[in-house]
Amino acid sequence: MRKDSWQRYVMIVSVLIILTVIAMYISLTNGVFDLSMMDVIRTLFHIDALPEHDLVIFDFRLPRIVIAALVGFGLGIAGAVIQGVTRNGLADPGILGINAGAGAAIVLFMFFFQEHVTGTSWGAIMMMPMFGLIGGLGAAIVIYIFSWKNGRIDSQRLILTGIAIGSGFGAFSIYLSLKMKAQDFEMATVWVSGSIYNANWTYIMAMLPWLLLLLPIVMKKAYLLDLFQLEESSIKSLGVAVEKEKAILLLSSIGIVSACVSVSGSIGFVGLMAPHIAKRLVGIKHSRVLPVCGAIGMLLVVVSDFIAKTIFMPAELPVGIVISIIGVPYFLFLLFKAKA
């Protein structure tokens, strides 16, 4: 890597991290109950902290900010992996129906074990990502089968099948939520829309092991995503077990998406936008694209969550709706650009 290229990469990552930290600080200090910088410092370091400040920061705002950052980071990287494996710039966990499949499985779990999820059952909350993984894998397998044409995955079929399967799983989630009690229905509906308003430290501990396990696998195999842009015969000539490596990367990305969906609901378009923005900033080499995708996704979700909770204060929008307002026009732009 050339020195100027490395310096540009470091500068871009540093700027993204600084912007994310600023967004986190604004989200931590602003809301229905405003806090000053000194209030935050005293509370974080337990220096003459007031009980109400401790409650606002540690029980409400900080878990929400941490989950927003982790979800954005995971979805951004998973989107880049799925686009790299499928060689389709319009691929995204939300558009392909993987989010919907994971979400439907978790709504099914909530339907049968709602009293444990809304309570303090550590085991039930830790099981949610597992159910999400099963649902995400189920959706991915169905999409894979219907997208297969002439010995390979057809890109156009992939998008159309993903949208159809996603709609089907979405309808199934709504049907199940309608069978719930009124209070549980409200929670399920908001969650399916993509929301982290119910964030807590238990949810963070539920998703963190998945990210710590799967993200290093993806980062280690980032060079393969560069090779997958070549013709398949060329990749095989280099001694790469193409189908095996694709399966590992897809399984890892589905696991990451499922862990994110289990705590935040179905947040779409992060995995679509982050890779395109990252490639414009640092080029197409995936060892650099993946970390930048994560940083962009983190910034996008943290900022969107702050907008969601403050624009109609004291009421709030699900963060998934805010991101969709940005993501839908961007998706249409990419669609027309691809046709051109």
What's the pLDDT score for residue 340?
Answer: 55
Comparing C-alpha atoms, which of 84, 109, 67 is closest to residue 253?
Answer: 84
Contact indicator for 260, 65 with CB cutoff of 8 Å: no
The C-alpha atoms of residue 247 and residue 253 are separated, in whole angstroms, by 10
Query: The domain containing residue 184 runs over which residues?
Result: 3-339
Q: Which amino acid is at 111?
A: F
The C-alpha atoms of residue 131 and residue 137 are separated, in whole angstroms, by 10
Contact indicator for 293, 275 with CB cutoff of 8 Å: yes
pTM of the full structure: 0.90
Q: Is 339 exposed, middle or buried (0-12, 13-18, 19+ CB in 10 A)?
A: exposed
- The CATH number that applies at residue 102 is 1.10.3470.10
Torsion over CA: 260, 94, 294, 140 (sign): positive
The C-alpha atoms of residue 187 and residue 322 are separated, in whole angstroms, by 18
119 phi/psi in degrees, rounded to 5: -90, -145
What are the average pLDDT values for consecutive 10-residue runs of the chain, which has 340 residues? Answer: 78 96 94 86 85 88 94 96 87 85 87 61 74 87 81 73 89 86 75 81 89 95 89 80 86 90 87 92 93 96 93 83 87 73
Residue bearing tokens 């389709």: 88
Torsion over CA: 301, 70, 310, 171 (sign): positive
Contact indicator for 215, 71 with CB cutoff of 8 Å: no
Report the number of distinct structural domains present in the chain.
1
Q: Which amino acid is at 179?
A: K
